[in-house]
Structures are given as structure tokens and as C-alpha cells.
Chains A and B, each alone.
Chain A
Amino acid sequence: QKEVEQDPGPLSVPEGAIVSLNCTYSNSAFQYFMWYRQYSRKGPELLMYTYSSGNKEDGRFTAQVDKSSKYISLFIRDSQPSDSATYLCAMSAIYSSASKIIFGSGTRLSIRP
């Protein structure tokens, strides 16, 4: 079983729709949860970052963490064609003197104009 599971998609929605992207994980030691966005032929870039459980909002984006269910989500409101990209969840814990970041496999999202 993978430590982090993410639905690969592809997910196609019309412009203006609310998008929900999700990841589940198995390691209860994970404390930091991140969402990266990767455009085609580019490296990933950090979109949202949260610590422990709760919600965090940044413009049209909301990240949600439910540690009791080992489930994280990214919501995109009023989706735009420019949001079309692959979204990767990532999470990390602290093991002795070094942390390790585990990435999901990514969900490919397409916003139709």
C-alpha cells in the first residue's frame, strides 16, 4: 500500500465550477501537508501549505486537513482555464534529524472554457 494515495484523474470540469481534489494517507506521523501545482513541461510549484488539521484559505483556493480520517483536500472555487494543471499533494513528518516529503502521484485537472 502506498503511503499517499491520489486519484490520477483526469478530471475535466467547466469554467466556474468548484473543484475538489483529494488525497488519503496511511502514516499518522505526517504533520505538514502541501499542495503543488505542475503545469505541462514545468517543475512543481507550491500552492498551499497547512500544518496539522484544519482549513487554510488563499484566494480561490482552500486546503483542508482531517487527520482523524487521514484525508486532505484542495478546493478551487470559480475555476479558470489557467487552473488546468496537474495537482500533487505532498506531506511530511519528522524522523530523528531529517524530514522526508512524500508526494502523491498527481491529479490532472482540465478546466473547459
Chain B
Amino acid sequence: EAQVTQNPRYLITVTGKKLTVTCSQNMNHEYMSWYRQDPGLGLRQIYYSMNVEVTDKGDVPEGYKVSRKEKRNFPLILESPSPNQTSLYFCASSLSLSGQGAKETQYFGPGTRLLVL
């Protein structure tokens, strides 16, 4: 089954304690992205990756890091989490993002709900 998986689904942590949220896709997609979703603000892009070893900042990258060492995996790292990073996080992937129409269809993971105390 084609899917995007995220782990963990729920996480409660304390300020300053490093954490990693994993994301994996089994569709051989080139493009992967991380979003956070907050009430009234919708989905905002944190980081994206066009392919292995190619990453770039989205709209709200502060406080986050990513890496893309393999095509299928795109972990999100919070080196020193703060309460303003409490949010619902989604990983997404698509075949490409080259402006070729349907290839831009993004498949989303189930979400990771993070609470930073």
C-alpha cells in the first residue's frame, strides 16, 4: 500500500530536549516536505527536499533541521524544542514539484501531535 508514515504520532516533551520525528514514504517520490498546522494559520511549510541531499527552507524553518540521506526518509529534528513549537506536524511527498501538473499531488502522512512543556 502506497503511504507516508510518521512516528511518533503523539509526543509530549519538555523545553530543550532534542527530538526527532521520522517520516518515510514507499512511493519512490523525489519531493518531500514538512508542514506544521496551527488553528487559524493553516498548513505552513517548514522545510522541503527536492531529492537526496537537496533541502531548502520553507516559510517557517526557525528551530528545525532536516536531512535527506535516503530517498524514502525525511526526518524532522528539533534540536532545542520550545513551547511555540507545540503543533500538529505533517510530512508529505510527491512525485515531483516541477510544475508539471498532477505530479504535484502531495500525499500526506497521518500527522504527529507535539506538545512542548
Contact = CB atoms under 8 A, between A and B. Distances in A.
B90 A44 contact: yes
Interface string B34-56: 01000011111100001000001
Contacts of B43: 44, 88, 90, 103
B110 interface: yes
A57 interface: no
Measured as residues with beta carbon below 8 angstroms from the partner, the interface class of chain A is 20 to 34
A42 B110 CA distance: 5
Interface stretch (B11-19, B68-76, B77-85, B96-104): B96-104
Contacts of B99: 31-32, 92, 94, 99
A42 B107 CA distance: 12
Interface of B: 4, 35, 40-45, 50, 56, 58, 90, 92, 97-99, 101-102, 104-111
Interface of A: 6, 8, 31-32, 34, 41-46, 49, 51, 88, 90, 92, 94, 97-101, 103-106
11 contacts: A34-B105, A43-B109, A44-B108, A92-B104, A94-B99, A98-B50, A99-B97, A99-B99, A100-B45, A100-B58, A101-B104
